[in-house]
Structures are given as structure tokens and as C-alpha cells.
């Protein structure tokens, strides 16, 4: 389980994050001497009600989001469902996916992030989680694969599109507890990424994907 107790101050995670935040300075998958396993779990946050969209987005976009993560190299896959969970199960092939129901989905995305990280923490050999939002169909497997080349337990990596930060976000295992503890409302890991902004590596993905989200039909 992820210990989601609030952190005291800006306590450094166990992994050394003292290096510059250029993506070329992040160790590539398999090169971290402290970790024998560098598997990345793909996590889709898909519990929202989609009020502006006119209904839950999971039944429409979840399959595509899972494929992007899977084809980009994530294994295992985790999906957090809430509003529209029954419809999503009927519409999407979830075989092999760790599906988590969030009864507190109305409290915002952060509750889903905590559930997803707790689920990943219970899976063997996972060094990082690639967090993806269900309503971003422009994100491709190529973008996911590009982020995953920077996997290690201390990584903080974020996709950007023409310089604008977006998703997916790669959270190394060393960050899960504090990311969960600082998550509030619909902000997800945003507060944690701001706290550690000088350590976040950004990876440009505009040449292989698009970072827009779908808010309306």
C-alpha cells in the first residue's frame, strides 16, 4: 500500500534527484543499478462523470487509452473507473486489465490517482507508473514509448506538446507516497509536480502525438 500520510516539508525521495532536469540526464530503462526490475504499469484515470461532455467518457475513450499504454510498453495495465463503470465494462475489452472501482469518484481525480498508485504498489516488479487520462485520444503509443525510455524508480517525467506540459506523466516508485499524499480534488499529481518542478524532466512529444483533451462532444 502507498502510505498517503502528508509529507513534512519538501522531503527528498529516496532516489537521488540532484541531477539536472534535461531528459537526456535521466537513466534509461534497465540502467539503474539500484533496481532489478523496471516494469512500468500503465494507469488510466477514467472515473469522472464528464459533465461538460454530457456523460462519462470511459465507455468511449478507455479502450484507446489502454491500447496506447499497452502498445507503448506498459505492462500491467490499471484502469480506475467510477461514473459509467458498468457501461465501460460492457463497451471495452478489459481482459488482463486490473480494474479498480472508485466509490469516491465525485471527490475528484486525486482519489482515482491514489487508488491507482495503491494498486500498482501491490503488483510485483513495478518501478514506475505511466499516468494517462482517459479523455486524451491524441496520445499515441509512440509518445508513451518515448517516456518509458527514461524509466527508473526515481524518475519524474512529463510529456509536453510544443513546450506545453501535459500527459502522460511517468512517476517513479520513489515518488508514489508523496504524490498520493499531496493529491487534492481534481488536481491529481499537479501539486507534487509543482513541488518538484526543478526535478521534472519534460519530453517533447508533439511530433508523434497530440496533447488535447476532449471536454465536449
CA distance 79 to 185: 19
**Greater model confidence, 101 or 34:** 101
Specify the pTM.
0.84
CA distance 6 to 10: 11
Q: Provide the residue ranges of all domains of the chain, joining segments of one domain with +.
A: 37-204
CATH number of 37-204: 3.90.550.10
What proportion of the chain, given as a percentage, has pLDDT over 90?
Answer: 76
Ordered alpha helix ranges (H), 72-100: 85-91
E strand spans, 28-140: 39-46, 77-81, 97-101, 126-133
**Greater model confidence, 20 or 90:** 90
How high does pLDDT run on average in the chain?
86
CA distance 94 to 85: 12
pLDDT score for 215? 81
Q: What is the mean pLDDT of residues 25-50?
A: 67
CA distance 92 to 17: 39
Amino acid at each position: 500500500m502507498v502510505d498517503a500520510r502528508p509529507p513534512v516539508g519538501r522531503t527528498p525521495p529516496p532516489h537521488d534527484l540532484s541531477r539536472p532536469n534535461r531528459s537526456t540526464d535521466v537513466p534509461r530503462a534497465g540502467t539503474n543499478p539500484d533496481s532489478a526490475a523496471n516494469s512500468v504499469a500503465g494507469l488510466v484515470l477514467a472515473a469522472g462523470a464528464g459533465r461538460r461532455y454530457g456523460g462519462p467518457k470511459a465507455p468511449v475513450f478507455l479502450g484507446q487509452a489502454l491500447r496506447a499504454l499497452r502498445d507503448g510498453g506498459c505492462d500491467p495495465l490499471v484502469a480506475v473507473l467510477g461514473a459509467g463503470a458498468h457501461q465501460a465494462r460492457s463497451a471495452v475489452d478489459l481482459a488482463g486489465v486490473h480494474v479498480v472501482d472508485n466509490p469516491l469518484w465525485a471527490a475528484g481525480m486525486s482519489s482515482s490517482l491514489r487508488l491507482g498508485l495503491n494498486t500498482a504498489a501491490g503488483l510485483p516488479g513495478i518501478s514506475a507508473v505511466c499516468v494517462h487520462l482517459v479523455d486524451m485520444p491524441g496520445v499515441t503509443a509512440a509518445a508513451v514509448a518515448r517516456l518509458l525510455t527514461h524509466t527508473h524508480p526515481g524518475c519524474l517525467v512529463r510529456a509536453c506538446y510544443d513546450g506545453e506540459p501535459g500527459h502522460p506523466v511517468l512517476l517513479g516508485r520513489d515518488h508514489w507516497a508523496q504524490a498520493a499524499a499531496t493529491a487534492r480534488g481534481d488536481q491529481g499529481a499537479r501539486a507534487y509536480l509543482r513541488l518538484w518542478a526543478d526535478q521534472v524532466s519534460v519530453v517533447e512529444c508533439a511530433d508523434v502525438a497530440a496533447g488535447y483533451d476532449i471536454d465536449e462532444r
